[in-house]
Amino acid sequence: METVSRPEDARYWVLACQDRKERVGLVPTMGALHEGHLSLVRAARNDCERVVVSIFVNPAQFSPGEDLETYPRPRQRDLELCEREGVDLVFEPLRGDMYLPGHSTYVHVEGLSAGLEGAHRPNFFRGVATVVLKLFHILPADVAYFGRKDAQQLAVVRRMVQDLFVPIEIKACPTVREPDGLAMSSRNAYLSPEERAAAPALYQALMAGRRAFLSGARDPAAVTEAARRRLAEEERFLLQYLECVDAETFQPAVAPLSGRELLATAAFLGSTRLIDNIQLQEG
């Protein structure tokens, strides 16, 4: 496995693979890797001759007061995990090489970026779209892998790739969960033991919404109400949003629900912000 930090070296590496007719799969991450990230690596491994993982904690997607400086950065462990998974190249750029002095160009995906995460984290999707497009230029891979755990982010990336004619295929991978249902996240490491014990209630709330749908509720309000009631049982949670949305547009879902809609939520557990989502009807 190789590691490079200079964008020009990374680009040269990818182009050399493609000269040899090797397909390159890219897994963009912020590091602190867990089984969720590794599932994307395995999907890439399965499809492509070469796998690149990028590790970059992207300042542009954090708002003031968020955890940019304290975000976990277990570099050695991340490299070991990549090595073990058969990753070929790890790209770990410096902040100053990704955002040059005087940097002033941003990608804004309108509409999709407005609700849910976008409403609570100003600049988040602008930061994500900007860094992902930079990565796609630096690492012109054939396929890039994203997790459904961040469903709105996936939709924003797909929209950007389509609108800007970026020649890369986007593949979505299912959310990987702990045995108790908690979606894996690098931020789960912030949870105290008591918070960790309470955390699965977020997923259980989504499942309560799904059960309401499966027992016949076709009105979005009935589904979200069932989910909110379940979350309210765990008083440590401070809810930011819990919404039923169209899976493509992220606009509020309308009755009658078809089952293809997403039930998406974000909540604080102490000072840790957790997000999760499920499709109302599995599959």
Q: Which of 114, 119, 151 minimizes the C-alpha distance to 247?
A: 151
User: Within 10 A of 44 (CB to CB), how many other CB atoms are there?
Assistant: 29
Q: What is the DSSP string of 214-232?
A: HTT--SHHHHHHHHHHHHH
* CA gap 179, 197 in Å, rounded: 12
* Residue 212 φ then ψ, to 5°: -60, -45
For position 30 contacting ligand AMP by CB under 6 A, the verdict is yes
Residue with smaller CB distance to ligand AMP, 141 or 217: 141
Query: What single-letter DSSP state applies at residue 249?
Result: T
Q: Which residue is nearest to ligand AMP (CB)?
A: 147
By CB under 6 A, which span of 97-105, 106-114, 183-191, 201-209 interacts with ligand AMP? 183-191
How near is the Cβ of 212 to ligand AMP at its closest, in Å? 24
What single letter denotes the amino acid at residue 150?
Answer: D
Choose which of 54, 130, 152, 185 interacts with ligand AMP (CB under 6 A): 185
Choose which of 45, 149, 159, 210 interacts with ligand AMP (CB under 6 A): 149
> Does 37 qualify as catalytic in the annotation?
yes
Asked if 132 and 155 count as a contact pair (C-beta separation under 8 A), the reply is no
By CB under 6 A, which span of 101-109, 176-184, 206-214, 271-279 interacts with ligand AMP? 176-184
The residues of the shown chain that bind ligand AMP, judged by CB under 6 A, are 29-30, 36-37, 39-40, 146-147, 149-150, 173, 175-176, 183-186
Where in the sequence numbering do the catalytic residues fall?
37
